[in-house]
């Protein structure tokens, strides 16, 4: 059921146990999970071809939305952990997923967060249990925990592990890992640490097309090292030499990024390599493996399909404001119609007012202070029939989606 975590360099002691395949208590927590995260209304909408009419409101739900397998597994493991170790302190290294309601429920279940004010890994001892989140943790963080001797519960998503494999393969073969992601995001930081396993391993994190353009210009010899350093001082490995380290690159990405943007960035870099080294040599200078997770892509495809099927009055996208995949769903919707990215049902204040995070625009780096909520008025049309497209990020449970739709119906029919 559990494995031993890897020893850090030079250590001879027995490492702490690490659980990666659950704790055989799925049945014991099933009732709690159903109560807190499921929705009868959502089950009914799914069975009605993802369409629900209530008075003048018609809700059209994307066919892929909400909790993905990796998130569902991580939350399940957290509850199993609390049940398995009722008399021990249980911690999470940080948010298990980017959803405030889920993280609140875990705190209420008696799980501490080492990322909370006044909390740190230094308080952990060998009697404690620490849960690693779905994003994974950096190698340094894992080694810190291993030295504390605590029991570890690893909920790292399989899709994230696939990205790590690609990054380790690139750097083992002498390529620099170029990661399309947000430099402050937990997943990207964990992925970047994997690049440093190889001797002389290197990484560079690119946020968007503008940053990719600068990288391509440097590859072609059209940008200076000073320009690069000004833009990427916090986004590359220690001692990074852009002239030498961008000669051979392998592309990966944070799993929740916008697929179309990752593909475009990859093509930009490939063409830059061709321009600099020639078509015949491109294989020696550029590699890429598709590492956007299938759940992220399925949700992006589903919302594109939904919006292409008919006209809507507005779109409501539900999920944490710091959820990258939710924000990308909102970006997709905002390109076509009025879109409101909300965190929960209470964001629907009244028939007139709604609290939301502005959708659209370029992605942010994922660091603290980048979440901005505003209040907008006249968001709900007064027409005889209101068609609303609804989707939710992969860290949003059905219970929250159901509550939003119920409140939406209340206001639409007031």
H or E, element range at 26: helix 26-37
Please give the Cα distance from 354 to 347 (Å, whole number).
Answer: 6
Please give the Cα distance from 250 to 192 (Å, whole number).
Answer: 13
- State whether residue 15 is helix, strand or coil: coil
Catalytic site includes residue 173: no
Residue 292: the pLDDT is 76
CB 215 within 8 A of CB 178: yes
For 60, the token pair is 């059209």
Please give the Cα distance from 258 to 250 (Å, whole number).
Answer: 18
The residue among 70, 75, 63 whose CA lies nearest residue 298 is 63
Residue 14: the pLDDT is 59
Angstrom distances, CA of residue 64 to CA of 2, 67, 100, 211, 303: 33, 9, 21, 31, 8
Helix, strand, coil percentages for the chain (3-state, nearest 5): 45, 20, 40
Residue 365: the pLDDT is 58
Catalytic residue among 187, 234, 335, 352: 187
Which letter does DSSP use for residue 133 in this model? P
Please give the Cα distance from 239 to 380 (Å, whole number).
Answer: 53
Please give the Cα distance from 130 to 1 (Å, whole number).
Answer: 16
pLDDT in tens for each of the 414 residues of the chain? 445 454 444 445 556 789 998 899 999 999 999 999 999 999 999 999 999 999 999 999 999 999 999 999 999 999 999 999 999 999 999 999 999 999 999 999 999 999 999 999 999 999 999 999 999 999 999 999 999 999 999 999 999 999 999 999 999 999 999 999 999 999 999 999 999 999 999 999 999 999 999 999 999 999 999 999 999 999 999 999 999 999 999 999 999 999 899 999 999 999 999 999 999 999 999 999 877 788 999 999 999 999 998 999 999 999 999 999 999 999 999 999 999 999 999 999 999 999 999 987 656 655 544 568 999 999 999 999 999 999 999 999 999 999 999 999 999 998
The domains located in the chain, with CATH, are 37-68+295-412 (3.40.1010.20), 69-157 (3.40.50.11270), 159-292 (3.40.1010.20)
Residue with tokens 């992601």: 181
Other CB atoms within 10 Å distance of the CB of residue 137: 23
CB 414 within 8 A of CB 389: no
CB 167 within 8 A of CB 187: no
Bridge partner residues of 340 (DSSP):
316
CB 218 within 8 A of CB 281: no
The residue among 393, 330, 381 whose CA lies nearest residue 358 is 330
Report the length, in residues, of the chain: 414
Residue 21: the pLDDT is 87
CA atoms within 13 A on the CB side of 125: 2
DSSP 325-374: HHHHHHHHHHTTS-EEEESSGGGB-SSSEEEEBPP-SPPP---TT----E
């Amino acid at each position: 059921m559990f494995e031993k975590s890897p020893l850090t360099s030079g250590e001879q002691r027995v490492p702490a146990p690490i659980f990666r395949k659950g704790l055989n208590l799925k049945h014991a927590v099933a009732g709690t999970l159903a109560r807190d995260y499921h929705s009868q209304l959502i089950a009914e909408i799914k069975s009605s071809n993802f369409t629900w009419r209530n008075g003048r409101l018609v809700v059209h739900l994307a066919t892929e939305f909400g909790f993905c397998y990796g998130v569902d597994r991580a939350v399940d493991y957290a509850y199993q952990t609390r049940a398995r170790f009722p008399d021990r302190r249980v911690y999470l290294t940080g948010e298990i997923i980017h959803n405030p309601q889920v993280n609140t429920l875990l705190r209420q279940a008696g799980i501490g967060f080492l990322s909370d004010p006044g909390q740190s890994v230094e308080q952990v001892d060998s009697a404690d249990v620490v849960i690693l989140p779905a994003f994974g943790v950096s190698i340094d963080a894992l080694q810190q925990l291993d030295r504390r001797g605590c029991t570890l519960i690893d909920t790292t998503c399989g899709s994230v592990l696939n990205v790590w494999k690609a990054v380790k393969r690139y750097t083992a073969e002498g390529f620099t890992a170029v990661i399309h992601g947000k430099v402050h995001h937990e997943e990207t930081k964990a992925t970047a640490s994997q690049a440093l396993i190889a001797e002389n391993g290197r990484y560079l994190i690119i946020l968007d097309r503008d940053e990719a353009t600068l990288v391509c210009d440097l590859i072609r010899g059209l940008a200076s090292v000073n320009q690069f350093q000004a833009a990427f001082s916090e986004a590359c490995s220690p001692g990074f030499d852009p002239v030498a380290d961008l000669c051979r690159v392998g592309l990966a990405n944070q799993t929740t990024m916008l697929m179309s943007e990752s593909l475009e960035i990859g093509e930009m870099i490939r063409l830059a390599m061709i321009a600099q080294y020639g078509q015949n040599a491109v294989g020696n200078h550029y590699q890429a493996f598709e590492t956007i997770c299938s759940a992220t892509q399925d949700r992006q495809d589903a919302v594109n399909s939904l919006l292409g099927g008919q006209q809507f009055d507005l779109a409501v996208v539900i999920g944490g404001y710091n959820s990258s995949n939710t924000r990308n769903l909102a970006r997709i919707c905002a390109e076509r119609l009025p879109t409101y990215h909300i965190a929960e049902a209470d964001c629907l204040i009244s028939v007139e007012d709604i609290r939301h995070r502005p959708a659209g625009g370029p992605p942010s780096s994922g660091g603290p202070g980048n979440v901005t909520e505003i209040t907008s008025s006249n968001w709900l049309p007064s027409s005889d029939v209101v068609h609303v497209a609804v989707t939710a990020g992969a860290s949003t449970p059905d219970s929250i989606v159901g509550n939003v739709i119920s409140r939406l119906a209340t206001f639409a029919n007031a």
